[in-house]
Structures are given as structure tokens and as C-alpha cells.
Structure 1
């Protein structure tokens, strides 16, 4: 084997957890749907109007997120109207908040207008802006992403290609 090749080339990606997660989260518009629900916009018509996603795209994304237990459908009925559903985060869905916070922080850094971001994520108790942080299992904060290295995990399989 080439000694200059990255060690990752020795391991299969067939069971990659990132690829599997992106099969749910990576479709166009999915993070926008999650943004809306995290911001308290839960009804189809409101999500569609606010996000400007095409109805069919929104319908498909909501169905996928429900299928994967990221969102759950909760029935409601306005007076005189038929029963409809709103979408609420499941515990699995709430675990995505750090991802949305990290993407939002990155977007603020590189893509916000000159006058700043239109939304800031703040700590409910003190009101300060929240940031996404990398931290190891021992509790050490990792400030430089170059200090994080991949290693084969318990599910690693040799690459046979």
C-alpha cells in the first residue's frame, strides 16, 4: 500500500454513519424545514409560506423526516375546518439542534449581510449568543478542527476495492 495515502483509504465507507445521516438530512430543503420547526413554525401552510419551498418538495421532506422519527405529526383542528397536522420535533429531532447551530454560525461568519445575521441563537437564561463547540469525551474543548483526527471505530470494515 502507498505510505503517502491517507489512512482512511484502508477502510470501507459502505456503512458510513455520515452518508446514512445525509441520506435523511442532505436533500435540498430539509435543513430549511428543520429551521422552521425549530423556530416554532409547525403547520404545513405556514412552513410553505415562510420557507417558500414548493409544496411537493415540502411534502416529501416532511414525510421523510416523519419516516425517520425526526418529526412527528400531531393532529389539530381549527373551528369549522377539517383535521390537519402540525409537525413537532421528536427527541431524535431535538438532537439535531447543535448541527443547525453550527451551520448557522458558519453562515453568519461567511454569508450574513454587512449589517449582521437576521437571527441569533441565544441562551434563554442569560441572553448571550450561543456558539457550537467541539468537545472530546473527556471534556476538552477543541478550538482547532485540525486537532480532530478520524480513526477506525468499532464498526470499521476493511476496504475491498
Structure 2
């Protein structure tokens, strides 16, 4: 158990978690990223899947491009004008383990007792995988054994 504290060890303005929440922490942005991680790329597909109002979706996609999580790339369907699609950048792709961990948390704490709608497996062995903390040697570290180290 974490001992009682009167304040966090790092002020929010210096905390990278707080900064990350500023970039990706609202509902629509997380849902857009979730869809992008599953391969959705086109504005109309995002809008249809998520039911996001078009003005909100447009603003969130622009913000995700501006922060470097998505990049715009043109595509053209024959007989129509070129339109943009939104592809995850390396920075956006780096969110995959975090969103998988959040999915698995939801499966454990929010979902019903049945099978979750998606699971994650090793492509080679097809064994189930789960998000975990590992140390430099690859050994799993239980969250109760994690320690906060302040760099000053």
C-alpha cells in the first residue's frame, strides 16, 4: 500500500503523465486512437464507427496530427478527389501497449464475467499475452514492488 502523502512527488506542470493526459486524455481522442490502432484511417470511417460529431472529430484529428501521434496521407478512390487518411506515427504506435493494458484493465474490472470481446496473443506461439512491468533482465515485477525514484 502506498503511504499517505499530502502532495505528489512531482508538480503537475513538471509531470510527463500530466502532460500526456493533456494530449490524449479526453474521451474522443482516446477512442480515435483506439480505432486507429485497429486500422481505421479515414475520416468517414472514424465518424461512422464512433458517432463523433464531425466538428469534434475534425478538431481531434487535427490535434493528433499537430502533436505527432497521427500523420495525414492522401488517398484517392477512382473517380473522386484525393482525401486525407490518418495513419499512426511511431509516437502514436508507441501507445499500443498502454491501450492494450487499459483494455485488459477494463476486461478485469468493468467487463462482464464472460469472455472479453478481444484478446491479445503472441503471433508466433499464439499464447495469450498481458501487459506487465518487467525489469532489465526481463523478469516480471509485481506493481507492489515498484518504487518511485525522483531524479533531481
- Note if 1:151 corresponds to 2:112: no
The alpha-carbon distance between structure 1 residues 31 and 7, as it changes in their structure 2 partners (threshold 3 A), is same
Q: Residue 11 of structure 2 aligns with which residue?
A: 12
Normalised to the residue count of structure 1, the TM-score between the two structures is 0.83
Secondary structure (helix, strand or coil) at the match of 1:59 reads helix
The answer to whether the Cα contact below 8 Å between 2:70 and 2:86 also exists between their aligned partners in 1 is yes
Deviation at 1:139, TM superposition (A): 3.2
- CA shift in 2, pair 1:136/1:75, >3 Å: same
TM-score by length of 2: 0.87
4+ runs deviating over 6 angstroms? none
After TM superposition, give the deviation of residue 7 of structure 1 in Å. Answer: 8.2
Cα distance in 2, alignment partners of residues 117 and 54 from structure 1: 28
Query: 5+ residue gaps in structure 2?
Result: none
Query: What is the CA-CA distance between 1:97 and the residue it aligns to?
Result: 0.6
Cα RMSD after superposing both structures: 2.0
CA distance in 2, matches of 1:121, 1:5: 36
1:45 maps onto 2:44 in alignment: yes
Q: Which has the larger radius of gyration?
A: 1
Structure 1 residue 114: deviation in Å?
3.6
Alignment of 1:17-96 (within 5 A): 17-96=16-95
Give secondary structure in 1 for the equivalent of 2:61: helix
CA 5–104 in structure 1, closer or farther in 2 if over 3 Å, else same: closer
TM-superposed CA distance for 1:137, in Å, is 3.5
More contact order relative to length (CA 8 Å, sep ≥ 6) = 1
The 2-side partners of 1:121 and 1:57 are apart by 31
